[in-house]
Amino acid sequence: MQHSDSPRGGRTAVVLVAAGSGTRLGRAMPKAAVPVAGVPMLERAIASVAAALPEAQIVAVLPAGHASLWQLCASIAAAPHDDGAPRPHLVAVAGGATRNDSVRAGLAAIGDAVHVLVHDAARCLTPPEVFAAVADALAAGARAVVPALPVVDTIKAVRAAPDASIAAEAVASTPPRSGLRAVQTPQGFRRDVLVAAQRQVAAWPAARAETVTDDALLMEMLGEDVYLVPGDERALKITTELDLMLAEALIAAGEEHA
């Protein structure tokens, strides 16, 4: 297949992190295996990535011990595509103890990609427009791109309680809401820059590495400009039962793309 250098083309890889345990969802299986309106979350996530970026290599990062997710990936990679749709370039690797460990495992498995998108399988209803917006910003020369939405709540920074007899945190400050955004995935990067940042984190003590809650943070650490493109409410991260209910309601209403 002829691959173009465009971030919508074949020199792009997607690291799809799906190795989490889903503690907050509290099911007796890893979150990626949980059915969302009857279809495993991982299957929905792969379908949405493949629909948005059909030429991209997809590296699914899976819980090492969950055979059914590995079988699911193998069957998607091998499935005939009679409708003429391209078969996803899909491989699977084992994840690590933290999300960031899993991202690193995925990065180690990608081919010769120029750009990499890091995406949460838990955001399995992300519409193609969000992938396109990230890819287009990379094509325009950005080295780090993140989808974002305005925040709807007022956000407080907190401090320890000034009066120890009151069992509560206290407010430290209130950042102006107009300057805050909630960020989603896929987060897109020049691969060489992300790999260089991850090399630094690999040497950090665990307590510091745990502060890496998203990939863009690493770019900020290197002094890179991180650009924001519009996110989408359908790209919600399924974290709790309420999120799962919302995702299933979106599917029932025909609002998800797949």
Ligand X SMILES: Nc1ccn([C@@H]2O[C@H](COP(=O)(O)OP(=O)(O)OP(=O)(O)O)[C@@H](O)[C@H]2O)c(=O)n1
Q: Which residue is nearest to ligand LQXTBERG (CB)?
A: 214
Q: Does 184 engage in binding with ligand X (CB under 6 A)?
A: no
99: exposed, middle or buried (Cβ count in 10 Å: 0-12, 13-18, 19+) = buried
Decide: 102 and 17 in contact? Cβ < 8 Å. Answer: yes
Pairing label, strands 115-120, 187-190: antiparallel
Q: What is the DSSP letter of 87?
A: P
Residue 19, contacted partner among ligand X, ligand LQXTBERG, none, CB below 5-8 A by kind: ligand X
Q: Which is nearer to ligand X, 10 or 244 (CB)?
A: 244
* Cα Rg of the chain (Å, integer): 19
Closest to 253 (Cα-Cα) out of 226, 234, 230 = 234
**Maximum distance among all alpha carbons in the chain?**
68
Give me the 71-110 binding string for ligand X, x by CB under 6 A, dash otherwise.
Answer: ------------------------xxxxx--x--------
Residue 213 near which of ligand X, ligand LQXTBERG, none (CB within 5-8 Å, type-dependent): ligand LQXTBERG
Shortest distance, position 214 Cβ to ligand LQXTBERG, whole Å: 4
Distance CA 20, CA 152 (A): 27
53 vs 235, beta carbon nearer ligand LQXTBERG? 235
Closer Cβ to ligand X, 10 or 231, answer by number: 231
Least distance in angstroms from the C-beta of 162 to ligand LQXTBERG:
29
Residues pairing with 190 in the sheet: 115
Binding stretches for ligand LQXTBERG (CB under 6 A): 99, 120, 183-185, 213-214, 237
Question: How many angstroms separate the CA atoms of 232 and 139, rounded?
Answer: 20
Pick one of 14, 15, 18, 73: the residue that binds ligand X (CB under 6 A): 18
185 binds, among ligand LQXTBERG, ligand X, none (CB under 5 to 8 A by kind): ligand LQXTBERG
CB of 162 to ligand X, least distance (A): 31
Q: What is the dihedral of CA 193, 197, 198, 202, to 10 degrees?
A: 150
Coil, strand or helix at 85: coil
Burial of 114 from C-beta contacts in 10 A (0-12 / 13-18 / 19+): middle
Q: Which of 4, 5, 24, 75 binds ligand X (CB under 6 A)?
A: 24
Q: Which positions touch ligand X (CB under 6 A)?
A: 17-24, 31-32, 61, 95-99, 102, 120-122, 237, 239
